[in-house]
Amino acid sequence: MPAPRYSNEAIETADRTALNQVIDERVRYTVRYAYEHSPFYRSWFDGNGIDPASVRNHEDLLNLPIISGKTIRANQPPGTADFLFRSVDWEEVFTIHETSGTSGTPKAFFLTWEDWERYAEKYARAFVSQGFSRGDRVVICTTYGKNVGANTMTLAARGIGMTIIPEGTCRFPVQVIERFHPTAIVGSVFKLLTLARDLSAGGIRPSESGIARLVAGGESFAPESRAYVEELWGCPVHNTYGSTEGTMCGECDRHTGLHVPEDLVHLDIYDPALKSFVPDGECGRIVLSTLIGKREHCGTLLINYDTEDSSAVISRERCACGRTHLRIMNPTRDAETFQAGGASLNRIDVERGVFQRENMEYLTGEYESFLYACGRRGETVLQVSMEVLDPAKTDRDGIRDRFIRGFIGKNPFLRKAHDEGSLTFAFRFAEPGSLEISRLAGRPKRLVDRRT
């Protein structure tokens, strides 16, 4: 029996006119529901002098104010007596979740069972678009707990007929591969690299393990690191982007951008510097709005929420896979973006330099980097520490040169900063297990600003 091409063909392949009709109907209902059920949004609409009935379509969202994580934190304890974004009675709350809290007090989110069904639908579409089908056995390496990703993927699998092996970590016994013969693994790029090393140490070549596809989620990655993981495992790596807030976009097997499930979440791109939304093709912040259908309930909904992640709309045309929902670039986190020497640099720029293919003959792929102030004229040093396979047999000069070329790439601003000396580099080659991040719990920060 051939694998299905779509999870929900009617909506995933709807033409733009029909899709916009669905979106606009859901925008109207969602806005009305927010005003009637969310204490925050009732006050928000009234305080801004906005009549909810005046919001008739998705373009009207562009005229509404933008909220942020700071807004959510200010409207929950200890800032307020209750959680003002909660939009159902406590009896309807199925689960409570929090973000990691790396940038302040964790943001609380309340999910009904309907929310879980919508979340699972988003991930099911991504899985099917990547070639998953009934009979696949999938190892989930992402953490089960307050974050929603692992649980959402597990629920999505039920509707597809996939079997889930819920490991929650990449350091699971090699016997899991040998005994259960999984066909796919979900985890971050670095978890997949760690697992490949563990398998090799156990006498199993990753490319001969029976794994037919990999899904990299949880953090953005450079094209170079994706290519290297694909080479190690001998299979494609698909990209997903999700959040507790409900973004959940998935890259299909054509790898031409991440599809946004437009009937379930609306996405616009906003430039904070310009204080305006930008046209397709231009980079900016992802601003999302929850969309729910008539008579549906939602535990925590968001309208014009600044995710603090950046991307750009690639296309709203029909993809080669047949899907019509818009596609976006692989998002990057603004918390991982810094200014140095008049240029903007992101963790992905560092990763691109590390994963130059010739470098990987000497490196494990593990790295960490730090920005330091140097001199009195505002110069910045980017110190990059890379884990090497064998310190005695490492082409240090070659790695340095290839890193700089890969890091700068075609970015004229980074090249100018480097040529003028306002951004310089320092390198450290570390033995396995000696990086600072190896001693830290949780998701490591691989680019840290240590300038005073």
**Could you write out the DSSP letters of every residue in 349-418?**
HHHHHHT-GGGGGTEEEEEEEEEEEETTTTEEEEEEEEEES-GGG--HHHHHHHHHHHHHTT-HHHHHHH
pLDDT at 211: 98
Give the side-chain half-sphere CA count within 13 A for 59: 3
Domains and CATH numbers, the chain: 1-330 (3.40.50.12780), 335-449 (3.30.300.30)
pLDDT of residue 392: 93
For the chain, helix, strand, coil in percent to 5 are: 35, 25, 40
Region of 210 please: left (phi>0), alpha (psi -120 to 50) or beta.
left
Instruction: Return the axis-axis angle of helices 347-354 and 396-408, rounded to nearest 10°.
Output: 140
Structural tokens at position 19 = 């899709």
Taking a C-beta distance cutoff of 8 angstroms, is the pair 425, 384 a contact?
A: yes
Tokens 């794994």 correspond to what residue?
A: 211
Q: Where are the alpha helices (DSSP H) in 145-292?
A: 149-160, 175-180, 189-201, 223-233
Query: Which tokens sit at 57?
Result: 């379509």
Residues 194-224 pLDDT 10s = 999 999 999 999 999 999 999 997 788 999 9
Q: Does the pLDDT at position 225 exceed 90?
A: yes
Q: 171: which residues sit within 8 A by CB, 6+ positions away?
A: 194, 195, 198
173 and 200 in contact (C-beta within 8 Å)? no
At residue 1, the pLDDT reads 58
**CB distance 23 to 264 below 8 Å:** no
List the one residue out of 258, 294, 204, 245 whose CA is nearest residue 98.
245
Mean pLDDT confidence for 148-152 = 93
**What is the reported pLDDT for 438?**
87
DSSP class of 335: G
pLDDT tens by residue, 328-365: 999 999 999 999 988 999 999 999 999 999 999 999 99
Neighbours of 361 (CB within 10 A): 12
Instruction: Flag whether pLDDT at 102 surpasses 60.
Output: no
Helix (H, G, I), strand (E, B) or coil at 257: coil
CA distance 167 to 185: 10
* Residue entry with tokens 């009234």: 46
- Residues 248, 126 contacting (CB under 8 angstroms): yes
Return mean pLDDT, the chain: 94
Helices (H) and strands (E) in the chain, counts: 12, 22
Placement of tokens 């859901």 in the chain? 26
Give tens-digit pLDDT for 155-196: 999 999 999 999 988 888 889 999 999 999 999 999 999 999
pLDDT of residue 101: 57
The reported pTM is: 0.94
Give the list of residues 6+ apart from residue 301 with CB closer than 8 angstroms, or none: 30, 33, 34, 38, 41, 85, 87, 290, 292
By the 8 A CB rule, do 251 and 224 touch? no
Tokens of 405: 């070329």
Rounded to the nearest angstrom, the gap between the alpha carbon of residue 206 and the centroid of all alpha carbons in its chain is: 25
Torsion from C-alpha of 388, 389, 393, 394, nearest 10 degrees:
-30
In this model, does residue 388 exceed pLDDT 80? Answer: yes
Residue 103 has what pLDDT? Answer: 55
Please report the pLDDT score of residue 444 as a whole number.
85
Flag whether pLDDT at 376 surpasses 80. Answer: no
| Mean pLDDT of the region 394-421 | 96
Q: Are 423 and 380 in contact (CB under 8 A)?
A: yes
Measured over the CA atoms of residue 14, residue 239, residue 241 and residue 287, the dihedral's sign is negative
Dihedral, 407, 410, 412, 418 alpha carbons, nearest 10: 30
- The whole-angstrom separation of Cα 236 and Cα 49 is 50
Write the single-letter amino acid at 328: I
What is residue 104's predicted lDDT score, i.e. its pLDDT? 65
| CB atoms inside a 10 Å sphere around CB 147 | 18
The stretch 136-154 carries a mean pLDDT of 91
Report the candidate in 384, 380, 369 with the shortest Cα–Cα distance to residue 341. Answer: 380
What is the spatial distance between Cα 329 and Cα 314, in angstroms, rounded to a whole number? 6
DSSP letter at 106 equals P
Residue range 46-75: average pLDDT? Answer: 97
Q: What is the pLDDT of residue 82?
A: 97
> What pLDDT is stored for residue 439 in this prediction?
85
Looking at residue 358, its pLDDT comes to: 98
Which phi and psi (to 5°) does residue 268 adopt?
-125, 165
The whole-number average pLDDT for the span 295-312 is 97
Average pLDDT over residues 268-288: 95
Check if the beta carbon of residue 451 is closer than 8 Å to that of residue 373.
yes
Give percent of the chain with pLDDT exceeding 90: 88
Task: Count Cβ neighbours within 10 Å for each residue of 67-80 and write b for 16 or more, e otherwise.
Answer: bebebbbebbeeee
Give the pLDDT band (50/70/90) at residue 379. Answer: very high
